[in-house]
Structure 1
Amino acid sequence: EEKRYTGVLTANNYGRKSIGEARVEGGFLMANPIFEGDMLNLSGIIAQDSRMYYGRIDYDAPVNTSGTRVGLSYSAFRYDVDVEEIGFPGGETLGGNGYNIVLSASHPIQRSTRNNTTIIVDGRSSTTDENGSLALRDKNTINLLEVFVNYDHLYSNYAKTSIFGGLATNFKSIRDQLDRKSQKAKLTLDIRHYQPFLKNWFIIGRAQGAYSPDPLVDVERYRIGGQGSVRAFPSAELAGDKGGVLSLDIGINFIVSGKLVLTPKVFADAGKVYRYNEFGFASLKSSESLAGYGAGLSAVYAKNHIFDLEVVTPTTDRDSSDGRDTRFWLNYRGIF
């Protein structure tokens, strides 16, 4: 029987120091809240020292027997920057808030034991508002049409390839540095491959990137750094109009008991962003790179409690924005 209620609790240090490094995240998923097959998902994040709050509600439902679903989501956030952490006097202030509304539709175009392909079409409206004595941007809304394809292939040896990519556009070319409503085209691609070998060893390779023919508005820029990217640097350390990240993890699963599995691993990441300089921002470099390597240990207890530790160090000459040479990532995730 399908489990109707699922709760998720996460605690980690995945945030930036300037807006709360330590974070607590929670989620609640309800199956069939109104009728058979629909889903309601509530989630939120609270950051250290109340520097950042984030909340989201998602609802989607089937509309036919062919797998087509439609959904609506709303998310909102508020943040308060520690200005001294980013190099400004303590008397200055900087913060902001915003929200996103997404209307979505998805349809499976291939469903089998080995292959699954889904097309997703979204209409998204994103509003941001910066405030405080250091604020540089007025309130702004950008509306985008997004089309994505999600593909999964499972091999006979339990290897798996996942590909997710698509386009976000409103068919408008950016006019000048004050234009924050236009986006001609932003292409994104994320490829991940999991490959088991020998008895309990595995390799995970990942390539991700983004491309735009024009400069992107700040909230849409491609960012690298942090978990899911170049782990030797803080989250969203660099931003650009195009770029990419390559990651490789090698690990082994040790089955300690019927309830405990330990997974040590080593890994390396490298990424680069490129920026257009059409509007005279001479102080910005046309490209910047990040790279690093590290080791980690995951512990899974009773399938629903996951503990992760990663220790990472950079290999590039660039100093991280928070001044750390060695970085420790900690995460707990519990499913109830």
Structure 2
Amino acid sequence: MTLSHYASVPLVTAMLLLLGADALAQQVPTAGSQLQQISALPPKTTTTSPVLEVPKDSIPTTSRADVRRLKVVGLQFSGASALSEAELVKICGFVPGQRYSFVELHELAARVTSHYRSLGYFLAQTYLPSQDVTEGLVQFQVVEGQYGAIKLTNQSRMSDHVAAHVLESLKSAGAVTASDLERRLLMLSDLPGINVKSVLVPGASTGTTDLQVNVSDGRTLGGSLEADNHGNLFTGAQRAGASVFFNQPAGIGDLATLRFLTSGPDLTYGQATYQALLGGLTAGVSLADLRYRLNGEFASIQSSGSAQVRSFYLSYPMIRSRNSNLSLQWSSDEKLLSDRTEVGSLGNTSEKFARLSTTSLRGDFRDSWGPAFNDYAATWTHGSIDLRDPIARDLDLLSAHSQGDFDKLTFSAGRLQHVSADVQLYARLSGQWASKNLDASEKFSLGGAGSVRAFPSGEAAGDEGASLTLEVRSNLPQISEHISGKLQLIAFLDAGFIQLNKRTWEAETAANRRELQGAGLGLAYSGPENLMVKTYYAFKLGNEVAQSQADAPGRFWLQLSKPF
């Protein structure tokens, strides 16, 4: 602030704040609010699913042609270690003293095999060996399935040590279980730039299986192109960008990512990320830089700003399988946010420094009702905001009290339900709780293409709130035999509420709660080579009027992405 030019700015600014600061904060984009809209669009990588070949059942057989029935007084099981003999007798439903045919005895063995496989011992087998049963005591042989040799053939850029470390829990003489084998193979295939193929073959001794894992190189370089109209009107709604992924640059299960997004001269964003395997964790660092300039009705105040973000994060896959996943992530972030306004020769720069510690759980699972795919996330953030401008601190003391420590919880849950081969239902709930009034960079927003689509990006940003989206998706017939891909028609309903400030202050006059609703239609096209085009038209329901930019009865959204 240049006080020599404008000594009465603190008084004037305070008067504006007291008379209508809440409305101003709602309408004027800041570095923090611009950063939030971009953070919602992280670049994504794709991994290949591991290929696993499993040997067919091969067990000794006894003749089932004998229809004689014999009195059985007891059962014995050899080779079982995961379950006790008493448990196995109960599982197969044996009744002492009852007469059984050999066919029925084989059925008892099949029940034990089925139970083992339901526990994840997918190679387990139970059979009747040749024996003397004249005394009425029947012996069953249980083969739980154990590893013989485990052989890793690595022909990729990644070091042998990294691949061996991922597979280290699969030990020779250990039981072959679906959950552990699937987890390790998926974790290996999650590493960037490699392909994984594995084969289970009969081992050298009875009851053992050898695991052969072959790792080969995938793509070294990849990326994606993106374009949308999801940006803020005053920094440019039309945006375009690109992401580039460098797989295994050091051969340690690592990934380097560069991302760039721009709307032209009014908004530029760049991000560089590097992550690598660190024991059982993935560790990463990220640097991001944003520059913006406001146009339109804010051009006269020459408002501009920047944001720099430094991040360090750790993640761990608590559950990893084809049907259920859960990861734990912790991150530490530092943000330097700067906003400058100039009117003629007068200027003011407001600078904030934020330090955040974030813990999140993210998961998904599939179920057989439909079938359906579900995802969920919960994130706890503890942070602090330091308003470095003395005038801004004084004004904050008169109003929001956002300076200092805060906590917030954000959550989301979604479900994609298959009704038929061509019809799906989709629902998503997301929201936020806050311990106090938050800075603009930490608020929850209702408007935009990812929430209530009938309102502009950044509309209705507040400390606490929730939004709900309901969709009906229907696959459309192929337009032409010359046009490949899938086209989907989407009918949707969006709704949400927001509490603008956790706690109000005496001079605040604007309404502290808003409720937004909208509905509309959309088209989603999945084309060749993973081309994706999404477009929506949403119209408002109810009497709410957009405040962050000019009101409109409906809004059109477009998004394109193309991996390369």
TM-score (norm 1): 0.91
1:153 to 1:96, Cα distance in 2 relative to 1, 3 A: same
For 2:371 and 2:224, locate their aligned partners in 1 and report how far apart those are by CA, in whole Å.
Answer: 27
For 1:319 and 1:136, locate their aligned partners in 2 and report how far apart those are by CA, in whole Å.
Answer: 31
Check conservation: 1:11, 1:22, Cα contact below 8 A: yes
1:59 corresponds in structure 2 to: 274
For 2:232 and 2:487, locate their aligned partners in 1 and report how far apart those are by CA, in whole Å.
Answer: 28
2:248 corresponds in structure 1 to: 32
Matches within 5 A, 1:1-336: 1=195, 2-48=218-264, 50-64=265-279, 66=280, 68-84=281-297, 88=298, 90-133=299-342, 138-156=350-368, 157-170=370-383, 176=397, 177=399, 180-254=402-476, 256=478, 259-274=484-499, 275-320=501-546, 321-336=549-564
For 1:56 and 1:266, locate their aligned partners in 2 and report how far apart those are by CA, in whole Å.
Answer: 35
1:222 to 1:137, Cα distance in 2 relative to 1, 3 A: farther
Amino acid at match of 2:358: E
Check conservation: 1:234, 1:322, Cα contact below 8 A: no
SS of 2:350's partner is coil
SS of 2:522's partner is strand
Check conservation: 1:171, 1:183, Cα contact below 8 A: yes
Q: CA deviation at 1:185?
A: 1.0
Q: CA deviation at 1:237?
A: 0.6
Check conservation: 2:341, 2:349, Cα contact below 8 A: no
Amino acid at match of 2:275: D
> What RMSD in Å do the two structures reach over aligned CA positions?
2.2
Amino acid at match of 1:148: S
Q: CA deviation at 1:172?
A: 8.9
For 1:281 and 1:83, locate their aligned partners in 2 and report how far apart those are by CA, in whole Å.
Answer: 29
Check conservation: 2:330, 2:358, Cα contact below 8 A: yes
For 1:182 and 1:251, locate their aligned partners in 2 and report how far apart those are by CA, in whole Å.
Answer: 45
For 1:159 and 1:296, locate their aligned partners in 2 and report how far apart those are by CA, in whole Å.
Answer: 22
Q: CA deviation at 1:162?
A: 0.5
For 1:40 and 1:179, locate their aligned partners in 2 and report how far apart those are by CA, in whole Å.
Answer: 39
Q: CA deviation at 1:37?
A: 1.3
Check conservation: 1:45, 1:55, Cα contact below 8 A: yes
Q: CA deviation at 1:180?
A: 4.9
Asked which structure has the greater CA Rg, the reply is 2
Check conservation: 2:400, 2:437, Cα contact below 8 A: no
Amino acid at match of 1:213: S
For 2:355 and 2:421, locate their aligned partners in 1 and report how far apart those are by CA, in whole Å.
Answer: 49
- Count residues with an aligned counterpart: 329
Amino acid at match of 1:92: I
Q: Which runs of 5+ in 2 are unaligned?
A: 1-194, 196-217, 387-392
Check conservation: 2:254, 2:275, Cα contact below 8 A: yes
For 2:353 and 2:292, locate their aligned partners in 1 and report how far apart those are by CA, in whole Å.
Answer: 18
SS of 1:282's partner is coil
Check conservation: 2:354, 2:385, Cα contact below 8 A: no
For 2:558 and 2:383, locate their aligned partners in 1 and report how far apart those are by CA, in whole Å.
Answer: 39
For 1:193 and 1:93, locate their aligned partners in 2 and report how far apart those are by CA, in whole Å.
Answer: 44
